[in-house]
Amino acid sequence: MAIEVRCIEHLSVEQRQSLHLLYGPLMGKSSICLYEFLGSIQNSVELEDVYLLLNINASQFDKARNYLEQYHLIETYVHEDDMLILLYAPLLPDKFLCHDTYSRLYLASVGSKCFDKIKAMLHKDKTISSVYTKVESPLDVSILDSWNESKEIAYEKVKPTIKQKYDFDFATLFKGMDRVFPARYRTNENLDRIAQMAQIYGIDAKDMRRYVQRSINPSTHVFDLDKLKEMVMRNRKVMETSKDPYQMPPVKFLQNKQNGIPVVKSDQALIERLCTQFQLSVEVVNTLIEYTLQQTHQQFSRNYVEKVAASWVRLGVDSRKKALEIINQAPTENKREKKEEKVVLDEKFYTQKEEKSDTQIQQEMLELQKMLKEGKL
As a whole number, mean pLDDT of residues 230-254 equals: 81
pLDDT band at 369 (very low <50, low <70, confident <90, very high): confident
Q: Is 344's pLDDT higher than 70? A: no
Stronger pLDDT, 150 or 225, i.e. the higher one: 225
Using CA of residue 67, residue 71, residue 74, residue 78, what is the dihedral sign?
positive
In degrees, rounded to 5, the angle at the alpha carbon of residue 43 between the alpha carbons of residues 39 and 46 is: 90
- The share of the chain scoring above pLDDT 70, in percent, equals 85
Across the range 277-303, mean pLDDT stands at: 91
What pLDDT, on a 0 to 100 scale, did the predictor assign at position 348?
44
283 pLDDT above the threshold of 90? yes
Question: In the predicted model, what is the mean pLDDT of residues 232-259?
Answer: 82
Predicted confidence at residue 64, as pLDDT, reads 93
pLDDT of residue 125: 64
pLDDT averaged over every residue in the chain: 82
Query: 87 - beta bridge partners?
Result: 7, 74
Over residues 167-195, mean pLDDT: 85
- pLDDT above 80 (res 203): yes
Residues 6+ apart with CB under 8 A from 236: 262
pLDDT of residue 355: 53
DSSP states of 191-257 as a string?
HHHHHHHHHHHT--HHHHHHHHHHTB-TTT--B-HHHHHHHHHT--PPPPP-SSGGGS-HHHHHHHH
Q: Are 76 and 47 in contact (CB under 8 A)?
A: no
- SS3 label, residue 216: strand
pLDDT confidence tier of residue 68, bands split at 50, 70 and 90 = very high
The burial of 299, by beta-carbon neighbours within 10 Å (0-12 exposed, 13-18 middle, 19 or more buried), is given as exposed
126: Cβ contacts below 8 Å, ≥ 6 apart: none
30 pLDDT higher than 90? yes
Q: What share of the chain is helix, strand, coil (3-state, %, to 5)?
A: 55, 5, 40
Instruction: Give the Cα separation of 128 and 110 in Å (integer).
Output: 33
Least confidently predicted of 22-36, 40-54, 86-100, 148-162: 148-162
Return the number of other C-beta atoms located less than 10 Å from residue 337's C-beta. Answer: 6
Separation CA 255–CA 241 (nearest Å):
11
Which has more pLDDT, 198 or 221? 198
Going along 134-236, which residue ranges are E strands?
none
Q: Are 26 and 106 in contact (CB under 8 A)?
A: yes
Q: Report the distance separating Cα 279 and Cα 344, nearest Å.
A: 56
Q: Where are the beta strands (DSSP E) in the chain?
A: 2-7, 44-46, 74-79, 82-87
What local confidence, expressed as pLDDT, does residue 357 receive? 62
- How sure is the predictor about 147, in pLDDT bands with cuts at 50, 70 and 90? confident
